[in-house]
Chain A
Amino acid sequence: MASTTRQGFQQSLEDLQQNILRMGSIVEQVIAKSVECLVRQDARMAAEVVEGDVVIDEMELQIEDQCLKLIATQQPMAKDLRKIAAGFKIITDLERMADYSVDIARIAQRILETGQPLIKPLIDIPRMAELAQVMVKQSLDAYVREDIELAYTVARADDQIDMLHNQVFRELLVFMMEDPKTITQATYLLFVSRYLERIADHATNIAEEAIYLATGERKELND
């Protein structure tokens, strides 16, 4: 029974989801850039990531207002209500991801300031970043399309990221044991890995919201 009676409201819900997708795609780019500036040791790109954060914060507030306005004026129920409630939480997750990306870009800046070249070529960290980006995209698609299968795909990718994070941890530990001069940078890189792992957890949260929207059930995917 498609909306014949509430076309305006329907349109507003679609606009809301479009805005969330738009915010999501910007966050994806920021995640990619934050790791890229680290790999390439590119100071300008790092600065761009740090400075670009205000745009994302702005978007979050704007979408939050949109959600509040719909709740106040439309008295949403059932799936409409869940869609807006999930949107509310999703933008918080996205904003946190962007903050972590900024943290990664700041680390890139610090490493540059030390003048020490990278202690090793970065392989797993860019892989984690790629995976995290895909997770963000898929989790948001799962939300918009109410696709439960896709939401579970995101949860499985999260396990992979956790595995990579462990691997990075062990590898860096070995570096630090062998040569104490690497400790500072290795610690920084460990943070980067940790931040990417956190970003993936936030994507998993979004996947949980997608499942909640589609089914009304709460599912814990992060463990």
Chain B
Amino acid sequence: MVQTKIKVTNLNFYYGSKWALKDISMEIKSNSVTALIGPSGCGKSTFLRTLNRLNDLIEGARLSGEILLDGENIYAPDVDVINLRKRVGMVFQRPNPFPMSIYDNVAYGPRIHGIKSREKLDEIVERSLKAAALWEEVADRLRQPALGLSGGQQQRLCIARLLAVEPEVVLMDEPSSALDPVSTLKIEELIRVLKEKYTIIIVTHNMQQAARISDYTVFFLNGEMVEYDNTEIIFTRPRDQRTEDYITGRFG
């Protein structure tokens, strides 16, 4: 039985007077990969960012509707946003490791959350780097600066950093668009493995990537959710003509 991890109901989002998300309702399943696709400016990244309240920081942004994480409203007044972002982590388009050592990058989150024991931190760092499929490449140089890693390694380091705080949901905003093809495939393989433990939502402009790695695909257009279905259906026989036109490259 597939369980719902996130339930979105009648979500509307405005940047000032711009209506960026229009009445979105959907359920995101646990332990699955959901891909968000659509042309630039369609609202997919905005939607992604509503899921861990990253849009809160934007001046003039306004939101209505409801987003439930495991049945709890993440926009309720008593929600601890820091804790929410620990549960719902994010990986960005460009790898953004901190200018510190590989070890300290991964240990950063756990330290903030109060873990001081050296032993415990060592264990978390090793486990997280292994989970991000990076351990073997960096095990002998944990003290070296993270910025000396390749782009693909940096991105996996960012994923390790995220996994170190044991999130439940991982949001990815075009995580491989700045990477070479081999690094991209490594990230994709990683996503496939990670979904066993986490719920993953990914924004991608790469249609083949969405088709390869996701279980569900959502097509956004002009702030609307046009179609949401099993990935296989979206890419072989979408129901909506606009989805068809987009994925066959007729526009966008």
Q: Residues on A close to B: CB < 8 A?
A: 1-6, 9, 75-82, 215-217
Min CB gap A5→B, angstroms: 6
What separation, in Å, do the CA atoms of A9 and B251 have in the docked complex?
Answer: 13
Min CB gap B206→A, angstroms: 10
What separation, in Å, do the CA atoms of A217 and B239 have in the docked complex?
Answer: 11
What separation, in Å, do the CA atoms of A77 and B235 have in the docked complex?
Answer: 6
What separation, in Å, do the CA atoms of A161 and B26 have in the docked complex?
Answer: 51
Cβ contacts under 8 Å, B235 to chain A? 77-78, 81
Contact of B237 among A1, A5, A6, A78 (CB under 8 A): A78
Contact of A6 among B238, B241, B244, B249 (CB under 8 A): B249
Query: Does more than half of chain A's interface fall in helix, strand or loop, or is it mixed?
Result: loop
Cβ contacts under 8 Å, A3 to chain B? 250
Cβ contacts under 8 Å, B248 to chain A? 6, 76-80
**CB contact list, B216-252 vs A, under 8 A:** 235-238, 241, 243-245, 247-252
B117 at the A interface (CB under 8 A): no
Given contacts A5-B251, A6-B248, A6-B250, 8 further A-B contacts (CB under 8 A): A1-B251, A4-B250, A77-B249, A78-B236, A78-B243, A81-B235, A82-B236, A216-B237
Min CB gap B107→A, angstroms: 41
Which 7 A-B residue pairs are closest in the complex by CB-CB distance? A216-B237, A77-B247, A1-B245, A6-B249, A80-B248, A78-B244, A1-B250
Cβ contacts under 8 Å, B17 to chain A? none
What separation, in Å, do the CA atoms of A78 and B248 have in the docked complex?
Answer: 7
What separation, in Å, do the CA atoms of A77 and B206 have in the docked complex?
Answer: 12
B194 at the A interface (CB under 8 A): no
Cβ contacts under 8 Å, B241 to chain A? 1
Contact of A78 among B238, B251, B252 (CB under 8 A): B238
What separation, in Å, do the CA atoms of A9 and B248 have in the docked complex?
Answer: 10
Cβ contacts under 8 Å, A78 to chain B? 235-238, 243-244, 247-248
| Residue of chain B at shortest CB distance from A1 | B245
| Residue of chain A at shortest CB distance from B245 | A1
Interface pairs (28), CB distance under 8 Å: A1-B250, A2-B250, A3-B250, A4-B250, A4-B251, A5-B250, A6-B249, A6-B250, A9-B249, A75-B208, A76-B248, A77-B207, A77-B211, A77-B247, A77-B248, A77-B249, A78-B236, A78-B247, A78-B248, A79-B244, A80-B248, A81-B235, A81-B236, A82-B236, A82-B237, A215-B237, A216-B236, A217-B237
Cβ contacts under 8 Å, B250 to chain A? 1-6
What separation, in Å, do the CA atoms of A3 and B238 have in the docked complex?
Answer: 18
What separation, in Å, do the CA atoms of A9 and B252 have in the docked complex?
Answer: 16
Cβ contacts under 8 Å, A1 to chain B? 241, 245, 250-251
